[in-house]
Amino acid sequence: MIVLGIESSCDETGVAIYDDKKGIIADVLHSQVKLHAQYGGVVPELASRDHVRRTVPLVREALKIADIEDNKIDAVAYTAGPGLIGALLVGASMARSLAFAWECPAVAVHHMEGHLLAPMLEDPAPEFPFIALLVSGGHTQLIEVSGIGQYKLLGESLDDAAGEAFDKTAKILGLGYPGGPALAKLALKGKPNVHKFPRPMTNRPGLDFSFSGLKTFAANTIRSSDGSEQAHADIAHAFQEAVSETLAIKCRRAIRETGLKTLVIAGGVSANMRIRERLEKLLVQEGGSVFYPRPEFCTDNGAMIAYAGYLRFKTGETTGLAIKARPRWPLTELKAGG
Ligand code: KG4
Ligand code: ZN
């Protein structure tokens, strides 16, 4: 079975092909970073227009890399949400049209389910049940995963997502967009224990997060610093430590409350090496193990959509002729396949 997947929910156009006998046989991506950089963030209309330009050439390139004819595609999967409505509509209508032309079904995929299942493309792959920590630009969620489509929300961010906090703090530090990777790079030069940032919502019970206070704390610390590069690096370091430690505290609670000892981390922020390191240490202490995707499958990509689409399609799920696009779509609305 071969599934082509298209991702277009935000600022990356991704196309990939998953073959159930060989795994991912093509994976191509166009990042819009340069397009949005001068505006300091994603401009939705520009994002949509760029997806229009990039999708078909990327589909052609993916077919060429996979060295297959389009009549070998059994289904076309696409990101149907959550995301920017214009961007989603481009990928969804292109995917639906390709499926129509190729006379095969289309499968609408939930973007966060794509992130959540992406670690299963690695070897070894995590086995159900597990706890998933989804950390991206729009979401911070702890989810108890019993199987595909069996998701129980344990906790989530009440304000900014972890990636959003990275991006906003990076902006205050003058690092531009996208901020997460730039802040992580600067943090490497920072000295430890110069500042102690709060670990928000860790001194009360529960598994929810709140990260918006950290950027305010960062802004105030910057204002009272000497503004040197070293001062900025020390602040970036302290911010990253606070996020890592807060995530680790909540993951430890989730592990102890559920009794599950497998932790999966996914979404753009799971590319952060310090966060990975901190959570690996936690799982060693708890006698469990942690799984995450290779770095290019942490941030948005077509492979996770092709793969999640394949898993859904395998159970007989298809989306009919409708072009499905939902800017807001809670993950917990999903049902088990079949
Ligand atoms: O999953 P993703 O590519 O898009 C969404 O679905 O939101 O996540 C993007 C987010 C951005 O906020 C970006 O700054 C953050 O992931 N990010 C990182 C790193 N790489 C990407 N944050 C911290 N450290 C990184 N290395
Ligand atoms: Zn994403």
Low-confidence ranges of the chain (pLDDT < 50): none
Residue 279 alpha carbon to ligand 2 centre in Å: 20
10 alpha carbon to ligand 2 midpoint, in Å? 8
Q: Which ligand is nearest to the CA of 181?
A: 1
Q: Which of 7, 135, 136 to mutate to test the pocket of ligand 1 (most atoms within 8 A of CB)?
A: 136
Report the pLDDT value the prediction gives residue 338, as an integer from 0 to 100. 57
Residue ID of nearest Cα to ligand 1 atom 2? 268
pLDDT given at position 321: 96
Residues with CB under 6 A from ligand 1: 10, 136-138, 163, 166-167, 178-181, 184, 267-269, 271-272, 299-300
SS3 label, residue 156: strand
Distances in Å between the Cα of 137 and the Cα atoms of 6, 198, 324 are: 19, 21, 22
Mutate to test the pocket of ligand 1, among 9, 237, 299, 328 (most ligand atoms within 8 A of CB): 299
Calpha distance 164→179 (Å, rounded): 9
> Are 199 and 245 within 8 A, CB to CB?
yes
Q: How far is the CA of 299 from the centre of ligand 2 (A)?
A: 6
Query: What is the CB neighbour count within 10 angstroms for residue 302?
Result: 34
**What dihedral do alpha carbons 43, 45, 49, 55 form, nearest 10°?**
70
Cα 295 from chain centre: 11
Q: Which residue puts its alpha carbon closest to atom 7 of ligand 1?
A: 137
- Per-residue pLDDT reduced to its tens digit, 252-261: 999 999 999 9
- Cross-sheet strand order for the sheet of 289-291: 150-156, 140-147, 130-135, 262-266, 289-291
Q: How many percent of the chain have pLDDT more than 90?
A: 98
Sheet with 23-31, side-by-side order of all strands:
23-31, 12-19, 2-7, 75-81, 106-110
What is the pTM for the complete model shown? Answer: 0.97
